[in-house]
Amino acid sequence: MVQFRCHGCGAVVDAAAVRPFRCPNAGATVDDIDHVLVAEAFAAEWPAGSETNPFLRYRALLTAYRVARSVGLSDDAWGDIVGELDEALVGVDGRGFRITPMGEQAALAQALDLSGRLWIKDETGNVSGSHKGRHLAGVMLYLRVLEAAGLPAGIGLRRNRLAIASCGNAALAAAVVARAADWPLDVFIPPDANPAVRARLAELGAGITICERRAKEAGDPCVLRFREAVAGGAIPFSVQGPDNGLAVEGLRTLAFEMADGFAEAGLVPDALFVQAGGGALASGLVQGFDLARRLGRLPRVPKLMVVQAQGCAPLVRAWERLPGLDLADAARRRSRFMWPWEKVPASIAGGILDDEAYDWWAVALGMRASGGGAVVVSEEVLARAHDEARRHTGISVSATGSAGLAGAIGYPADGGVIAAVFSGVER
């Protein structure tokens, strides 16, 4: 059985029978539990294949594949499902999922006066120009498996529209993947969303709802409107763990690729700097690196260093309230650690301005287990990292995309290796 367990209340879900999106106990009663469904550990070998599509190479570690096999679909049938989506992605976006580049960036390390060697994983050329498509491909492949296998959890599925809340990159990725799968999508975006992004969303056929902040309403209005749509029957095509446990899992492929790259280079970075908004990027990396360690691909995991902007740092605020506390206990008292940022979030790194870090708990677990921590960076430091990154790597990364690197400036690396992800392209 392919099981998910809620890290807050312990509820268990069989992913072949019930969609492992939101925990079944979330919202059922008024509680203060951090409900997020997480794929349960299972016995596996580290995938040793050489496929260039991560959803093929790492298929044995993916829920969608495991569900497919457990209900009788063949390995070839999985190949067809992935291949079909990939071909359609090429038609819609000019590219499918491929292992993205990673390498040492010595000139950039020098320009930023880093005291260690710097490795950068470059997601700017990934589907739709960011890492976000990984979250959504994980969800879409699962939906396709439910359909292909004729499982009860898939009956009537196509009648439901997909829905996502986002300020840009996630909505774009969702629109590309949804279009490739020929599935209607509604996106909930803020009024100040990049006009170019908005135009592309319309071109891709997404239904667009502009979400204004409402007086006396706490939290991100896009998320609030999205949750209303889901309550009305929409499928949470989300990049946040609490809304869809599968979303975080798809992102693990990024960590798998990095783990393979580091293993081939014979190194483990001392620290991995990760920009966090909602926190699913960091959460997926934590889970993926942990799996790589458990399956013997890496001897240890890097310290997880989470980076947020001064203008919006709810995850750092939560982290600072956690020392000495039992994390399992903290998961049952969510509101003491996580609540919406009181001021209207602002930064040049606009992609990490989530009012709440929805995946805070799993990220805190990763920070604690790895001996990492959290960094708040100023606008000046974000701008410096962004300028030098583009100048010295030739990668057209956005300020959000280089925000993790900003956190590495001044870190005492003592000659060790530090790593960061350039998570999105400049638009």
Ligand X SMILES: Cc1ncc(COP(=O)(O)O)c(C=O)c1O
| C-alpha–C-alpha distance, residues 179 and 172, integer Å | 10
Least CB distance to ligand X at residue 95 (A): 17
Query: Please, which of residues 165-194 interact with ligand X by CB under 6 A?
Result: 169-170
Nearer to ligand X, 292 or 405 (CB): 405
Nearer to ligand X, 53 or 169 (CB): 169
Query: Please, which of residues 122-151 interact with ligand X by CB under 6 A?
Result: 130
Residue nearest to ligand X (CB): 424
Least CB distance to ligand X at residue 241 (A): 9
Using DSSP bridges, classify how beta strands 117-122 and 417-422 pair: parallel, antiparallel or unpaired: parallel
DSSP sequence for 111-145: HTT-SSEEEEEE-TTSGGGBTHHHHHHHHHHHHHH
**Applying CB under 6 A, which of residues 279, 345, 372, 407 lies at the interface with ligand X?**
279
Nearer to ligand X, 151 or 169 (CB): 169
Residue with tokens 């969800």: 139
Nearer to ligand X, 118 or 280 (CB): 280
Nearer to ligand X, 258 or 352 (CB): 352
143 residue type, one letter: L
Q: Does 280 bind ligand X (CB under 6 A)?
A: yes
Is there a contact between 375 and 407 (Cβ–Cβ < 8 Å)?
Answer: yes
**Applying CB under 6 A, which of residues 105, 275, 347, 370 lies at the interface with ligand X?**
275
Nearer to ligand X, 242 or 279 (CB): 279
Least CB distance to ligand X at residue 123 (A): 8
CA triple 202-204-210, angle to 5 deg: 35
Least CB distance to ligand X at residue 317 (A): 15
Least CB distance to ligand X at residue 400 (A): 4
Nearer to ligand X, 290 or 354 (CB): 354
Q: 105: burial class by Cβ within 10 Å (0-12, 13-18, 19+)?
A: buried
Query: Please, which of residues 244-273 interact with ligand X by CB under 6 A?
Result: none
Fill in the per-residue mask, 86 to 125: x = in contact with ligand X (CB under 6 A), - = not in contact.
Answer: ----------------------------------------
Q: Which of 360, 303, 293 is nearest to 327 (CA)?
A: 360
As given in the structure block, the two tokens for residue 262 are: 């580091």
**Applying CB under 6 A, which of residues 276, 292, 301, 367 lies at the interface with ligand X?**
276
As given in the structure block, the two tokens for residue 393 are: 């790597």
CA triple 167-172-176, angle to 5 deg: 160
| C-alpha–C-alpha distance, residues 185 and 58, integer Å | 27
Nearer to ligand X, 108 or 174 (CB): 174
Q: Does 407 bind ligand X (CB under 6 A)?
A: no
Q: Does 400 bind ligand X (CB under 6 A)?
A: yes
Fill in the per-residue mask, 320 to 359: x = in contact with ligand X (CB under 6 A), - = not in contact.
Answer: -------------------------------xx-x-----
Least CB distance to ligand X at residue 252 (A): 13
- Binding residues for ligand X, rule CB under 6 A, total 18
| C-alpha–C-alpha distance, residues 425 and 427, integer Å | 6
Residue with tokens 């492929």: 253
As given in the structure block, the two tokens for residue 265 are: 């280079």
Stretch of residues binding ligand X (CB under 6 A), selected from 151-159, 254-262, 278-286, 290-298: 278-286
Q: Which of 339, 309, 307, 303 is nearest to 321 (CA)?
A: 339
Least CB distance to ligand X at residue 296 (A): 28
| C-alpha–C-alpha distance, residues 53 and 126, integer Å | 11
Per-residue burial over 186-225, b = 16 or more CB atoms within 10 Å of its CB, e = otherwise: bbbbbeebeeebbebbeebebbebebeeeeeeeebbbbbb
Q: Does 318 bind ligand X (CB under 6 A)?
A: no
- Give the binding site for ligand X (CB under 6 A): 130, 169-170, 275-282, 351-352, 354, 400-401, 423-424
